[in-house]
Amino acid sequence: MYNGDRPLLMGHHNYSDTDQPFIYQARVFGLDTDCVTGKALTGLLLPSFKIVSVPSRANYWAQVWQTYTETKTPSAPARKEVEWSGNDEERLLHLIDETIQL
């Protein structure tokens, strides 16, 4: 749907569903190549727009999922709620202000 003149770089979704990046008309770059699931980690060098990709060392998502399903039990105790103090609120607002100023 993007029709702009400037390059568009995006991640967090593997549009090609492979270990190769999705590139459309040399200006839309889908860089997510599912490194977490064992495919590849991909980057884009600027200003040359050179693709750099290396194979993942493992399927990290499967490892985490396996650990999660082995440790999750229906009888696990509920997590204790954390108290939110006025000091916490002040720190959060300070961080938001700093981020906005960047």
Give 78-99 pLDDT, tens digit per residue: 677 777 787 888 888 877 877 7
42: exposed, middle or buried (C-beta count within 10 Å: 0-12, 13-18, 19+)?
buried
- Domain contains 11: yes
pLDDT beyond 70 at 62:
yes
Q: Which domain holds residue 30?
A: 7-61
- Domain contains 31: yes
Which residues does residue 41 pair with via DSSP β-bridges, in sequence order?
54
- Domain contains 32: yes
Q: What is the pTM of this model?
A: 0.60
- Domain contains 36: yes
Structural domains of the chain, count: 1
d(CA 48, CA 10): 17
| % of the chain with per-residue pLDDT over 70 | 89
- Domain contains 82: no
Write down the pLDDT at residue 85.
Answer: 80
Q: What Cα–Cα distance (Å) separates residue 89 from each residue in 50, 56, 82, 96, 98?
A: 44, 40, 13, 11, 14
- Domain contains 38: yes
Q: How confident is the model at residue 3 (pLDDT cuts 50, 70, 90)?
A: confident
For residues 40 and 19, the answer to whether their CB atoms sit within 8 Å is: yes
Q: How far apart are the first and last CA of the chain?
A: 30
- Domain contains 96: no
User: Residue 101 corresponds to which amino acid?
Assistant: Q
Write down the pLDDT at residue 75.
Answer: 60
